Structure 1
Amino acid sequence: MQTANRQRDPRLDFFRGIAMFIIFIAHLPANSWALWIPARFGFSDATEIFVFCSGMASAIAFGRVFELHGLAMGSARVIYRVWQVYWAHICLFLGVAGMLAFLQINGLTSEDYVGKLNLWPFFEDPVFQLPGLLTLTYVPNYFDILPMYLVILAMLPLVMIAYYTAGRGAVLALVVGFWLIATFRFVDFPAEPWSDRRWFFNPFAWQLLFFTGFAFIKGWIPRPPVKKRLLFLSAAIIILTIPFAYFRILNTVPELRQVAWEIRDLTVKSEMGILRYIHFLALAYVAWAAVGEGGHRLLLQGFGGKVVRVIKKVGQQSLAVFLASLILAQGIAVFRDELGLKGTLSGGVMANLLGFAGLIAVAYAVAWFKGQPWKKAREPRAS
């Protein structure tokens, strides 16, 4: 049995950090920089990076617990993490909703930011909506990633049971089976009590990507060799996808727009369409080959090395940074708009750079607190 390596993988931290910056760009309202994120040029986006890398990180964090302490203790460790993610989601919602409500009732913003996130139903009837928030039956789209993530985490003990009882074949059947029933929309979760809207991210579909990353770290799937033909194939998939994803091309060529519409079930985001999955794997392979064995090409010197180290630090604290990014995105948007800089080049640069600085500051602050510096012994002062 292969034991997961507990040492940090620089590639994992680096790409999770990249995903955090892209997610901030995507969530900043009226952000022109969002026209240049990977999602505009292909079927997959930063969400896939986040989920895939989370699967890899979970194999490192929880895999050894299952191996050394058994299913019961491994499952308990996962449940504890689910508990943490659940309350992170609740606090995120209350933090964003409370911030926007405070700004509006005090006349600090001229726009209805509460309405833009469709949060008025919560404020108009909190007695009815609060139980929905706590039971995850009320999940506005802006807050939909963490509920998906915690359900996938909750599936991890089931996957480990399948592995220990029947091997990798049982895991494959289980994961693919869940993806199929989600693809045909046989199972999903309600997103709001007053309509038939469902969770935007169906966790039973997205677990396919999570457990792909998990399986790579566990050794259930062998590492693909770096070969020219695989690189050419992956690059071809990435390039051929662009005409069916880039909005400027679709708006110019009606025939391509029609094809994109006809294959929408294969590229759908909510149920992780198969072409979306393939596109991400092609991107991941190219990125994995680009950074070299063990990520040695990330070991840069000078300014480039400093940038890589900062990105890795952000990736190491991905949950805290993700939570901060959603709060910062709304707060900075209000600040930018009230300065009258919405839609301007300077406003875009200011808002994005402020956001990046905030994410970096959160990452380093959380790392400092996790280091528990107050427990370190201090040398006695000289008399």
Structure 2
Amino acid sequence: MVAIAGLCAGIGAGVGFWIARGAESSAPLSPPPSHTGSGAPLGSEIAGIRAPAAIPYVDYEDVPKPAYYADAGRPMHERMEALVLDLQDRLIEALETLEPSRRFIRDRWEREDGKGYGISCVLQDGEVFEKAGVNVSVIEGTLTAGQLRSMRERNAQTAQKLSATEEYEFRVAGVSVVVHPRNPYAPTAHKNYRRFEVYRKGATESGPVMAWFGGGADLTPAYLFAEDASHFHQTLKHACDAHDTKYYPQFKAWCDRYFANTHRGETRGIGGIFFDDLEDKSPEELFRFVYDAGSSFISAYVPIVARRMLMPYTQRERNWQLIRRGHYAEFNLVYDRGTKFGLMTPGARIESILMSLPLTARWEYMNRPEPGSPEDALLQAVRTTTNWAAA
């Protein structure tokens, strides 16, 4: 379920991507047992976890390409739908390889007007993942005058191609991911990829008058490990370089600008890649780039969690993690365009909009880490930009 206003504002970073009134096909979810207040010693969950011998789909380049990958005779919106569903399934399988106590709950919904569906998959209160969401949305509809105006104001190319007086329809398919691990040493991560197509009213059979891809992935650690940051960025750079060596530096800089808590003078995390309105190559070339970029997320992120999820931690690390999660929530609620537009949309599906927020967070008055401490090292990293791919 897509927040149309949010999408038209160029959303990709936020979970406002997942909102539109829909009829649920599943029963209300019963809450799982909570670790909070259970009386178990802090970090005791580590004793019951074993690192997996292998993680599926890490070597995405060696996996045979699915049929939709090269099926140029199939409409692009159908191929994008197949891609986001595929990315959802592969990431869920990889994440569940690490999690011993929970499985993702699949919550499928349909739009009341019959113009689309979504699948919200959430794992909550696990031993490894405190909260993880992997959502897909595939919908179509009519652009409102306000949504069209927002699109034209955002992008000069869009303004040149779309008339302010015509009526347009749209199709969109996307996948949005946010993962909050339990261990403070394991970083939070976000991924979003989507394709948006615009058609003249009543003329979808003639093809889109314009279409673009958007998305990206970024990493938000509470504790900085340079090798993790380098691995994440180098993996994304490799996926970008296979298609255009200009992509990674351009999209990394864009990510650093967008995911910023300006009021704090810091970025949300240590970045990654982010892009929107991408239409600089043929749809076929861009589709293959998005396939590789979206697939590389498992290789970039899941092995980092596997490496950090068994590290012992104390209340000090847990408190710092919760403080950093508070900053994460600040960005999503204050700056993220998708979340803001989604919350203003009548009939919005609030549960899906706020899926990106952590299960727990903390705000301490005047929290100032000791200079030279591991917590201070993280602060220094998010108050500047680093070429992690070269580190």
Query: What is the TM-score when the length of structure 1 is the normalising length?
Result: 0.26
Higher Cα radius of gyration: 1
Query: What is the TM-score when the length of structure 2 is the normalising length?
Result: 0.26
Q: Which structure dedicates a bigger proportion of its chain to strand?
A: 2
Q: Which structure dedicates a bigger proportion of its chain to helix?
A: 1
